Amino acid sequence: MPVKDKFPWDSFPFRLDLKDRVAWFQCQEHMDKEIARYNLRPRDYKKSVKRGHKIVKPVIKKDIVKPKKVDKKRTELLAPVMKFKTIDFAKQPNILAPQYK
Protein backbone atom coordinates (compact mmCIF):
# COMPACT_ATOMS: atom_id res chain seq x y z
CA MET A 1 0.00 0.00 0.00
CA PRO A 2 1.51 3.38 -1.00
CA VAL A 3 2.29 5.93 1.68
CA LYS A 4 -0.22 8.39 0.20
CA ASP A 5 -2.99 5.82 0.73
CA LYS A 6 -1.87 4.98 4.27
CA PHE A 7 -1.51 8.63 5.30
CA PRO A 8 -3.89 10.69 3.14
CA TRP A 9 -3.49 13.86 5.26
CA ASP A 10 -0.16 15.58 5.89
CA SER A 11 -1.20 16.93 9.29
CA PHE A 12 -2.12 13.47 10.65
CA PRO A 13 1.12 11.43 10.64
CA PHE A 14 0.06 8.84 13.28
CA ARG A 15 -2.13 5.93 12.24
CA LEU A 16 -3.94 3.38 14.42
CA ASP A 17 -5.30 0.26 12.72
CA LEU A 18 -8.10 -1.29 14.76
CA LYS A 19 -10.13 -4.39 13.98
CA ASP A 20 -13.14 -2.45 12.72
CA ARG A 21 -11.69 0.89 11.63
CA VAL A 22 -8.63 3.05 10.96
CA ALA A 23 -7.91 6.28 12.83
CA TRP A 24 -5.36 9.04 12.18
CA PHE A 25 -3.98 11.41 14.80
CA GLN A 26 -2.01 14.66 14.91
CA CYS A 27 0.27 13.52 17.74
CA GLN A 28 1.17 10.44 19.70
CA GLU A 29 -0.51 11.72 22.88
CA HIS A 30 -3.89 11.72 21.13
CA MET A 31 -3.29 8.18 19.90
CA ASP A 32 -2.31 7.02 23.41
CA LYS A 33 -5.45 8.66 24.82
CA GLU A 34 -7.60 6.70 22.36
CA ILE A 35 -5.88 3.44 23.35
CA ALA A 36 -6.36 4.19 27.06
CA ARG A 37 -9.97 5.33 26.62
CA TYR A 38 -11.07 2.02 25.12
CA ASN A 39 -8.68 -0.17 27.18
CA LEU A 40 -7.12 -1.62 24.04
CA ARG A 41 -4.47 -4.31 24.25
CA PRO A 42 -1.52 -4.55 21.85
CA ARG A 43 -3.17 -7.47 20.02
CA ASP A 44 -6.22 -5.27 19.27
CA TYR A 45 -4.39 -2.58 17.29
CA LYS A 46 -1.35 -1.75 15.19
CA LYS A 47 0.46 1.59 15.40
CA SER A 48 2.22 3.12 12.44
CA VAL A 49 3.76 6.48 11.71
CA LYS A 50 4.69 8.48 8.66
CA ARG A 51 8.38 8.75 7.77
CA GLY A 52 10.05 11.61 9.62
CA HIS A 53 8.09 11.04 12.85
CA LYS A 54 8.78 8.69 15.72
CA ILE A 55 6.67 6.64 18.15
CA VAL A 56 8.01 7.02 21.68
CA LYS A 57 7.32 4.33 24.26
CA PRO A 58 5.04 5.81 26.95
CA VAL A 59 6.31 5.82 30.54
CA ILE A 60 4.54 3.20 32.61
CA LYS A 61 4.31 3.46 36.37
CA LYS A 62 6.05 0.09 36.67
CA ASP A 63 9.16 1.57 35.03
CA ILE A 64 9.49 4.27 37.70
CA VAL A 65 11.83 3.12 40.45
CA LYS A 66 10.66 3.93 43.94
CA PRO A 67 13.26 4.60 46.62
CA LYS A 68 13.74 1.74 49.06
CA LYS A 69 12.50 2.14 52.60
CA VAL A 70 15.38 2.46 55.04
CA ASP A 71 15.13 1.16 58.58
CA LYS A 72 15.17 3.89 61.26
CA LYS A 73 18.07 2.25 63.08
CA ARG A 74 20.08 2.21 59.88
CA THR A 75 19.25 5.87 59.27
CA GLU A 76 20.50 6.74 62.75
CA LEU A 77 23.79 4.97 62.00
CA LEU A 78 24.26 6.58 58.59
CA ALA A 79 23.24 10.12 59.56
CA PRO A 80 23.16 10.53 63.34
CA VAL A 81 21.04 13.31 64.75
CA MET A 82 22.98 15.66 66.96
CA LYS A 83 21.34 16.08 70.34
CA PHE A 84 22.36 19.17 72.24
CA LYS A 85 21.15 21.45 74.98
CA THR A 86 20.17 25.01 74.26
CA ILE A 87 21.29 27.76 76.54
CA ASP A 88 18.63 30.19 77.72
CA PHE A 89 20.09 33.51 78.76
CA ALA A 90 18.32 35.66 81.29
CA LYS A 91 17.38 39.24 80.50
CA GLN A 92 20.08 40.32 82.89
CA PRO A 93 22.90 38.06 81.78
CA ASN A 94 24.61 36.03 84.42
CA ILE A 95 27.65 34.90 82.46
CA LEU A 96 29.14 32.89 85.31
CA ALA A 97 26.06 30.64 85.81
CA PRO A 98 23.92 30.21 82.61
CA GLN A 99 20.60 28.37 82.87
CA TYR A 100 20.09 25.27 80.69
CA LYS A 101 16.74 24.04 79.42
- Please list the pLDDT of the chain residue by residue as tens digits (101 residues): 777 778 888 889 999 999 999 999 998 999 999 999 999 998 999 998 888 777 877 666 666 777 777 677 777 777 777 777 777 666 666 667 766 66
- Cβ-contact 72, 24 below 8 angstroms: no
pLDDT value of position 60: 64
State residue 18's pLDDT score: 92
Instruction: Please tell me the predicted confidence (pLDDT) of residue 101.
Output: 61
**31 contacts 46 by C-beta, under 8 angstroms:** no
Domain map (residue ranges) of the chain: 3-53
Using CA atoms, how far apart are residues 17 and 14, in angstroms rounded to an integer?
10
